[in-house]
Amino acid sequence: MNKKVYAKRRRQLMRMMNENSVAILPSAPTLVRNRDVEHGFRQDSDFMYLSGFNEPESVIVLIPGRKQGEFVLFCRDRDPLKETWDGRRYGTEGAIEHFDANDAYPIDDLEDILPGLMEGRESVYYSIGLNHSFDKHVLKCVNDLRTQSRRGARVPYEFVSLEYLLHDMRLYKGREELALMRKAAKISVQAHINAMQVCQPGLNEYELEAEFLFEFKHNGADWAYSSIVGGGENGCILHYTENNAELKDKELVLIDAGAEYQGYAADITRTFPVNGKYTVPQREIYELVLEAQNAAFAKVKPGNHWNDPHNAAVKALTKGMVEIGLLKGRPIQLIKDGSYMKYYMHRTGHWLGMDVHDVGDYKVDDNWRMLEPGMVLTVEPGLYIPAGTRGARRWWNIGVRIEDDLAVSKDGYELLTKGLPRTVDEVEAVMAG
């Protein structure tokens, strides 16, 4: 992403901060997988959003109105020996040259320099409690300032949660962000199509998962979250991730998988027959879920509230379940008393962006948030009927979820995940080749 985009974000954030304040944001830590093996590094989304700097052991400090420059970056020094083992580093000079930091200092000097940057500032924007290890560094710097009060050092008197401002900014996607999300969605769509076309009885769930990993990596992307590939009864487990069971004839497979491209996620779910043909009971449930998704789609537009798509989906699902005999009673009452939750126990969507469950409040002043252009959300109704469910033997082990990604536009929405089959006929046609 262009450096100017990051600079614009930093300026916007600093305009919203209190006068005479400072913001502090640490990078993500490295995480050990086991013994000498680390998980692949993934930068903290807030940190990446403001800087584009993709190294651990780094800290952003924003100081509105500072004459010497408002953007200070602490990072690792260049070290030829360590870079031979662990990869290249930008160092302080690279932080200034490539990321437009006004000043850059070695991370080892943080506790010596940060107190001076905080001195005289009334407010510190920092999210206490999210990074317990770094909390200690910040509090030590404050306490160091307190010991210097006799010489006139002014200590900040309040801490303000940084995410209160930053996450509201991230909720609204700009032109550059939407372009990356379209790319993530396009890669994910093709991966889902690939899985449909290779699927057949006798394959293992992890073989379909491999189709996704290949397509993601082949296109310069990675997984946005651990893929769910649940065949048969496993499709009724909402967060199933073992992905190690054999796919059986006449069963469904539910796949929830999405790519992350240059820091932005897609999130897609499709449910299709292992043998390429839906049975009548499978078709009944699938088309009911699809009807609910279409009802939710119709509510995604500016001026409606966050909860409107969910309410529309619940209404369609409950009415449909009564019609096919899965529930008994009046839909209005079944919704009121929550009876539908026996088969539909989750919400219809979530914000989507740099994080698959992206940041941003769903309520403002205790009211559901109004949808506005630039917001991106998922729409993912489902029904789950595990074996043994009383009064539902016809649909045992049928779990169906259909999930797509929508960007709220000026007139309605843009379907980011277009091109991926949604109807029964479309899915069967793709699987038939």
Catalytic residue ranges: 36, 239, 256, 267, 346, 350, 357, 380, 384, 401, 403
Beginning with the edge strand found earlier in the chain, give each strand of the sheet holding 158-160 in spatial order.
103-106, 71-75, 59-62, 21-26, 123-125, 158-160
Rounded-to-integer distance, Cα 177 and Cα 337, Å? 41
Is residue 304 classed exposed, middle or buried when 0-12, 13-18 and 19+ CB atoms within 10 A define those classes? middle
**Paired residues of 364 in beta bridges:** 367
- If one counts every other C-beta atom within 10 angstroms of the C-beta of residue 92, the result is 21
Rounded-to-integer distance, Cα 125 and Cα 158, Å? 9
Is residue 253 classed exposed, middle or buried when 0-12, 13-18 and 19+ CB atoms within 10 A define those classes? buried
Q: Which residue has the tokens 């769930």?
A: 205
Question: Running DSSP on this structure, what letter comes out for residue 305?
Answer: B
Residue 28, SS3 per DSSP? coil
Contact present, 76 and 58 (Cβ < 8 Å): yes
Rounded-to-integer distance, Cα 362 and Cα 99, Å? 33
Rounded-to-integer distance, Cα 20 and Cα 135, Å? 21
Report the sign of the C-alpha dihedral through residues 153, 158, 159, 162, in that order. negative
Residue 30, SS3 per DSSP? coil
